Amino acid sequence: MVKFLKLYEKIGIFIFFVAGGIFLSIASPHFLEGDTILNVIAQGTYGAIVGFGMTLAITLGGFDLSVDAVMALTSVFISILIPHMGMILAVFFSLIIASCVGLVNGFIITKLRVNPLITTLAMMTIIRGVALLVTGGRQIVIQKKEFMFLGTGKILGVPNPIYIMIVLFVIFYFILYHTAFGRHISAVGSNENAARISGLKVDFIKIAVFVLVSFTAGVAGTIRTSQALIGIPTMSPGFVLVAITVTILGGTSLSGGRGNLWGTLFAGVFVSMIYYGLNLLGVQIYYQMLSVGLVLIFALFVDGMRTRYLEKIKVKGIKV
């Protein structure tokens, strides 16, 4: 049983991924066409990109509910800043603003000792309010048509969002698995008190992780803004559900200490496959959201069962 649970943690998402691919290839003769596959992957980049940051947060033992609001805030500031400073600087400063939300989250959580759930939930409401206040509740059209290339353009036939996702995956993979900082994230998630006693700068680690989560949300918001050419203060309501689903379904343990970035990457594409398949079957959007919620419940159930079983055998002195 132990071997099965540990194997599921590593490759469970790949089983779902393959099964989904087989189902869609049967349901639609066009699914295996190159353009269709690339489009499905491109649609999965949003969940995967934000999932990379969420993977670090959950590995740390927390999570961030403000990511969809950060996406909206980034969208708004990009649309406001592009006419004044051009596309590159507008994106740069908007991503800094997005990252500052994570900085505030991390500060409140570490210095004021407020629960991450309460902190990020409150910040989500505040940031949504700021985005609506700055725009007066209106969407802002971006006149620079060239900005669309970031989100809709292709290089060598591959959509640009896929390249962005791959670059971020490589960076976050290196951070989590090949740096002392990544090992410290896992250590804090496994046992925060032991990490403090060991001399780790736990507060700094937490703040840095929340900054990275907000940064990934900012990147996703930038891509979506580029595709729509509109600054949307109400962008992606409920997208945090997708980000958490992707992370947990990918094999990152909700109890902290273990992150699975490969799983997050494939889970992002798998959730995109769910939406594609349901669209193919003519299922309405609210049923699609219901389906993603059910997938999240299933992932949480499996994670909880795995955690309880492993804890039980640890008590018995069995090495896992």
Instruction: Choose which CATH entry (1.10.3470, 1.20.1740, 1.20.1300, 2.40.10) describes domain 2-313.
Output: 1.10.3470
Please give the pLDDT value at position 8: 62
Residue type, 289: M
The domain locations on the chain are 2-313
Mean pLDDT, the chain cut into blocks of 10 residues (320 residues total): 60 77 78 82 92 95 92 95 93 96 96 93 94 92 91 92 96 95 93 91 96 97 94 88 88 83 91 82 75 79 70 58
The whole-model pTM stands at 0.90
